[in-house]
Structure 1
Amino acid sequence: MQILLVGAGLSGAVIARRLAEAGHDCHVIDQRDHIGGNCHTRRDGETGVMMHVYGPHIFHTDDQQVWDYVNRFAAFQPFRNRVKTTVGGKVYSLPINLLTINQFFGKAMRPDEAREFIDGLADHSITTPQSFEEQALRFVGADLYRAFFKGYTEKQWGCAPSELPAAILKRLPLRFDYDDNYFSHRFQGMPRDGYTPMIAAILDHPRITIDLSTPYSPDMAEQADHVFWSGPLDGYFDFQLGRLGYRTLDFERFTHDGDYQGCAVMNYGDREVPYTRITEHKHFSPWEQHERSVCYREYSRAAGPEDIPYYPIRLVREKALLQNYQRRAKATQGVTFVGRLGTYRYLDMDVTIREAMDTASLFESCLAKGDPMPAMLTPS
């Protein structure tokens, strides 16, 4: 069959590879001038540092098959994401762990003592947290909430934490040991040469053709037997029902002779600091040596029509609009919506790859049975 894949990021690449190996001809297009989507990496011309162009991407998963898959196309180096945060002129370790607790409160508690201490600070009157703020107050109490979550969250999301769902905070751990590894998955690492060469290797198949700097137009679908769309869900329908809300990022680049901050990611929790974090990219490749450093200050704001969408907002208005677009999508034949933008969800890379693998397998199964391929495979 002739398959059109709109978007040359992880979703499009993995689906294209699977279907090409099954004997289909896959045409991948992307409106940008590079492959890789927001995972795109490149060497900085001034410093030689490997840059995560659209912000840092750290690979972590418990999925053995996904880990084996990425290692088929790239050599991975061990990497642990050890985030720090500057609050009130002091540096602390994230996620909140025993060191953070002891340092913040000026104590030397053992794990059981710290657990009892934090439980005494938690607001037990909140039995079923509905908002980010309620979850944080129930989780760690007012002092830690104000120091580590409130200001950062207001900058990141552009609204009060009381307006955000509790689920945003539920995925962040609270540890009563000295483990400062941001993630807890079995497999964690970085592709030694960057994500773009890995995705190029996935797309390197004789049945896959790629056209970059190529926006989608509806007439392209007429030449294909099926379309996999990893662009914005609302964009497929030309925003006829309105635009789904996103946060976008602005990056302020600067260089430094030597080591600027001693870690890859430094958050800034104070509300009066306008940026959310500084990333120092040579620390994402600790197996390399660079005399100079390149850093980015990150500023979060509401995404406009011409901005790159990063984080789906998914508040009440967006959820209602999403349901309307999902109903329209499910009534559309010949196209399947995939990936972060196509399903309007925040997805880690391993989940994106797993869903792409499963989507390609389902497509083959539907073909074999003569069943139509669903347009939407994921819940809202």
Structure 2
Amino acid sequence: MNILLVGAGLSGAVIGRELAEDGHQVTIVESRDHIAGNCHTERDGETGIMVHVYGPHIFHTDDEQVWDYVNRHTNFLPFKNRVKTTSKGTVFSLPINLHTINQFFGRSMRPDEALEFITSEQADTSIEDPKTFEEQALRFVGKDLYEAFFKGYTIKQWGMQPSELPASILKRLPVRFNYDDNYFFHKFQGMPEEGYTKMVEKILDHPSITVHLNTRFTRDEAGQYDHVFYSGPLDGYFDFELGRLGYRTLDFERFTYDGDYQGCAVMNYGEEGVPFTRITEHKYFSPWEEHEGSVCYREFSRACGPDDIPYYPIRQVDEKALLADYVELAETTKDVTFVGRLGTYRYLDMDVTIREALDTADMFRKSVADGTDMPTFAVAP
């Protein structure tokens, strides 16, 4: 069959490679001038540092099949994400752990003492069923830690008060009563030695795959193919005819430094008065390399406009209502499957994106074998 994939990010690359190996002819169109989507990496011409062009992407997963898949296409080296945060002129460790708690309160508590201190003296136990981000934080860690580490950062990141955000956002952020400062819990964690773009390039390296960069997709092209997998914005497929789904976007202020700027890969700034959310120092994402200079990004979050790159789906009440309308409209299309972060309007980590792409390819194989229609959404938005 002749298959079209819209977007040369992880979803398009993985689905494309799987179907090419099945004998299908695969065409991939990408509106940007590079592959790999937002995990695109490139060598900085001035310093030679591998830069995460659209912000840091750290691979972490418990899915052994996905870990094996990415390692078939590139060599992953160990990397632990150890985030720091600056609050009121002092540097602390994130996620909140025993060191953070002891440092912040000027104590030297053992794990059981810290747990008792937070739960009995800090946490607001009057909040029995937290509904908002703010309520969850107050119930979880109390007013002092919430205001130092979460409140200002959240306002800057999402452009709204924590009292307007669902509690589920904070449930993803751990608090540890030991000295473990590894940001992620997952069994497999690492960085591709040659960068993500080289990994995606190798995934796409198949004689039955053709990639066209700087090429925009239009709906009238869909009829030229047996099936289309669309990883662009769901509302964009329909030319935003029902309105635009809400996203946050990021601006990056690049600067260089002669030496080490901050001594770590990621430094958060939780105070609302600091306009940026964090500074990333890119050479620390490749700790096996040595560079005298440094490339850093100050990261600013704001509402996504029509010409901006969408990063984080907002998924508030209004957006969910509009999403439901677009899902209903999408279900009327024929031979098109919407995939990935933008195609399903969901925040997805890289490992989940790859897992869903592999599962989508399996679903397509089954639909071809059974002579049934491929679903419009392999995973419901």
Aligned to 1:169: 170
2:197 corresponding residue in structure 1: 196
Q: Which residue of 2 aligns with 1:143?
A: 144
Residue matched to 1:3 = 3
The answer for the alignment partner of 1:112 in structure 2 is 112
CA distance in 1, matches of 2:147, 2:219: 49
Distance 2:341 2:220 in 1: 24
Structure 1 counterpart of 2:136, one-letter code = Q
Residue 307 (structure 1) aligned with residue 339 (structure 2): no
Q: Matches of 1:151 and 1:379 in 2, distance apart? A: 33
**Letter matched to residue 37 of structure 2:** G
Shift of 1:9: 0.1
Distance in 1, Cα, partners of 2:290 & 2:210: 36
Residue of structure 1 equivalent to 2:294: 293
Match runs of 1:220-369 below 5 Å: 220-369=221-370
Find out whether 1:376 has 2:377 as its counterpart. yes
Partner of 1:25: 25
Structure-1 separation of matches of 2:43 and 2:27: 27
Give 1:26's aligned amino acid.
V
Instruction: Indicate conservation of the 8 Å contact 2:149/2:270, yes or no.
Output: yes
Q: Is the 8 A contact 2:219 2:237 kept in 1?
A: no
Determine helix, strand or coil for the equivalent of 1:318. Answer: helix
Whole-angstrom distance in 2 between the partners of 1:134 and 1:340? 28
Matched, 1:56 2:56: yes
Q: Which amino acid aligns with 2:253?
A: E
1:378 is displaced (CA, Å) by 1.9
**1:83 aligned partner:** 83
What does residue 154 of structure 2 align with?
153
Please give the alpha-carbon distance, in whole angstroms, between the structure 2 residues aligned to 1:343 and 1:134: 29
Please give the secondary structure, in 1, of the residue aligned with 2:138. helix
More off after superposition, 215-224 vs 317-326: 215-224
Deviations 1:230-284 (A, max 9, x none): 0000000110100000000010011000000000000000110000000000000
SS in 2 for 1:66: helix
Instruction: Give the whole-Å Cα distance in 2 for the aligned partners of 1:189 and 1:338.
Output: 25
In the other structure, the counterpart of 2:98 is: 98
CA distance in 1, matches of 2:178, 2:364: 45
Q: Match of 2:35, as an amino acid? A: I
Offset at residue 332 of structure 1 (A)? 1.4
- Can you list the C-alpha shifts for 1:93-129, whole angstroms capped at 9, x where unaligned? 0000000000000000000000000102111111111
Separation in 2 of the partners of 1:329 and 1:112?
Answer: 52
The sequence identity of aligned pairs, in percent, is 73
Equivalent residue number for residue 46 of structure 1: 46
**What is the Cα deviation at residue 331 of structure 1?**
2.0
| Equivalent residue letter for 1:3 | I
* Counterparts of 1:303 and 1:195, CA distance in 2: 25
Offset, 1:219: 2.9
Taking the aligned partners of 2:329 and 2:31, their CA distance within structure 1 comes to 24
AA at the equivalent of 1:167: S
2:86 match: secondary structure: strand
CA distance in 1, matches of 2:280, 2:194: 19
- DSSP 3-state at the match of 1:175: coil
Alignment size in residue pairs: 380
Provide the rounded CA distance (Å) in 2 between the counterparts of 1:30 and 1:136.
41
1:198 CA displacement = 0.2
Deviation track 1:295-341 (CA, whole Å, cap 9, x = no partner) reads 00000000000000000000111010011111111221110000000
Cα deviation, 1:147-178, whole Å, max 9, x if unaligned, reads: 00000000000000000011111011110000
Distance 1:249 1:117 in 2: 37
**Amino acid aligned to 1:124:** T
Query: The residue matched to 2:69 in structure 1 has which SS?
Result: helix
**Which whole-Å CA distance do the structure 1 matches of 2:7 and 2:222 have between them?**
14
Structure 2: which 5+ runs fail to align? none
Deviation at 1:47, TM superposition (A): 0.7
Q: Which amino acid aligns with 1:191?
A: P
How far residue 356 of structure 1 moved from its aligned partner, in angstroms, is 0.2
Query: CA offsets per residue over residues 171-223 of structure 1, 9 Å max, x none?
Result: 11110000000001000000000000000000000000000000002232121
Secondary structure of 1:114's match?
Answer: helix
In 1, distance between residues paired with 2:218 and 2:139?
49
Residue aligning to 1:206: 207
Structure 2 distance, partners of 1:27, 1:131, is 44
Once residues 66 and 221 of structure 2 are traced to their aligned partners in structure 1, the CA distance between those partners, rounded to angstroms, is: 31
CA distance in 2, matches of 1:377, 1:318: 21
Structure-2 separation of matches of 1:76 and 1:271 = 36
Cα distance in 1 between the residues matched to 2:312 and 2:323: 14
Once the two structures are TM-superposed, the CA of residue 379 in structure 1 deviates from its matched residue by: 3.0
Please report the TM-score for the alignment, with normalisation by the length of structure 1.
0.99
After superposition, what is the alpha-carbon deviation per residue over 1:63-103, rounded to whole angstroms, capped at 9, x for unaligned?
Answer: 00000000000000000000000000000000000000000
Where has structure 1 moved over 3 Å in runs of 4 or more? none
Q: Distance in 2 between matches of 1:228 and 1:313?
A: 24
Following the alignment from structure 2 to structure 1, what is the Cα–Cα distance between the partners of residues 50 and 114?
Answer: 40
Q: Which amino acid aligns with 2:43?
A: R
TM-score (norm 2): 0.99
- Judge conservation of contact 2:10–2:200 (CA < 8 Å) in 1: yes
